[in-house]
């Protein structure tokens, strides 16, 4: 039987582990005793977090890893990592203060959501930007933004009164930024604003659990 060393921070919570060896990549999935969360540890890329047990992994989503609620598809999370060949990050402070990093986070989201549809308008705001030193002694930034998308279902109408825009979605985006292995790591979570009060507890537990780890050569 293979014994898996557990991180001290969760040593009292974990009851069982499964190790997946995928070439050079080792993934550890550990289940909490309460059964509500699993821990995901990627020793190849150097990060870990916990996620709600009922969420499912989605392949080919463009991120290093992507999980979502199987029913509420707009409630999801992913991890993005900067390219190791072009990254020279030493600390998350290389991004500037949290407020400046938040501007970059918001700009990235808006770039990803650019639309060629006529009559689409986006409203966005940085809601909070802060820093913290986690129990691993590393500095992390936490950023929250809100983005609303408005669209008209009759943009080609001749009369302006027939081109009224209406809200098509309103979402909260929560991001944790960390630096290790000269790379920038971004944990990204999203939920519709109407579901925030219901999902916030789980999302913040995921945020609080995110750690970047030194890759062993």
Q: Domain extents for the chain?
A: 42-212
Q: Give the residue, 35 or 57, on which the prediction is more confident.
A: 57
User: Would you state the pLDDT for residue 116?
Assistant: 78
In this prediction the pTM is 0.82
Whether 189 and 173 have beta carbons less than 8 Å apart is answered as yes
CA angle (189, 78, 21) in 5-degree steps: 145
Residue 186: pLDDT band (50, 70, 90) is very high
Is 3.40.1000.10 the CATH classification of the domain at 42-212?
Answer: yes
pLDDT(164) > 90: no
User: Would you state the pLDDT for residue 18?
Assistant: 53
5, 136, 200 from 8: Cα distances, Å: 9, 10, 25
Whether 45 and 161 have beta carbons less than 8 Å apart is answered as no
Q: Give the residue, 27 or 193, on which the prediction is more confident.
A: 193
Whether 65 and 55 have beta carbons less than 8 Å apart is answered as no
Q: Give the residue, 154 or 91, on which the prediction is more confident.
A: 91
User: Would you state the pLDDT for residue 1?
Assistant: 37
Q: What percent of the chain has pLDDT over 90?
A: 69
pLDDT(48) > 80: yes
Mean pLDDT over residues 164-192, rounded?
A: 96
Residues in contact with 111: Cβ distance below 8 Å, sequence separation at least 6, in sequence order: none
At 65-94, the pLDDT tens digits run 999 999 999 999 999 999 988 889 999 999
pLDDT(138) > 50: yes
Q: Give the residue, 114 or 170, on which the prediction is more confident.
A: 170
What is the rounded average pLDDT for all residues in the chain? Answer: 85
């Amino acid at each position: 039987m293979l014994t898996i060393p557990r991180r001290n921070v969760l040593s009292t919570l974990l009851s069982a582990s499964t190790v997946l060896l995928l070439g050079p990549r080792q993934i550890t999935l550990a289940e909490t005793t309460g059964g509500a969360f699993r821990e995901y540890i990627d020793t190849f890329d150097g990060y870990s977090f916990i996620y709600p047990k009922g969420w499912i992994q989605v392949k080919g989503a463009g991120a290093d890893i992507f999980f979502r609620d199987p029913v509420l598809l707009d409630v999801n999370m992913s991890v993005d990592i900067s390219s190791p060949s072009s990254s020279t990050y030493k600390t998350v402070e290389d991004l500037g203060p949290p407020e400046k990093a938040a501007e970059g986070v918001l700009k990235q989201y808006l770039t990803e959501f650019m639309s060629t549809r006529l009559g689409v308008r986006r409203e966005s705001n940085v809601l909070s930007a802060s820093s913290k030193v986690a129990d691993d002694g590393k500095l992390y930034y936490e950023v929250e933004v809100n983005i609303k998308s408005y669209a008209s279902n009759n943009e080609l109408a001749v009369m302006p009164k027939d081109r009224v825009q209406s809200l098509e979605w309103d979402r909260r985006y929560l991001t944790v930024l960390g630096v290790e292995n000269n790379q920038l790591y971004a944990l990204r979570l999203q939920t519709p604003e109407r579901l925030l009060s219901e999902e916030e507890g789980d999302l913040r537990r995921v945020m609080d659990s995110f750690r970047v780890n030194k890759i062993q050569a």
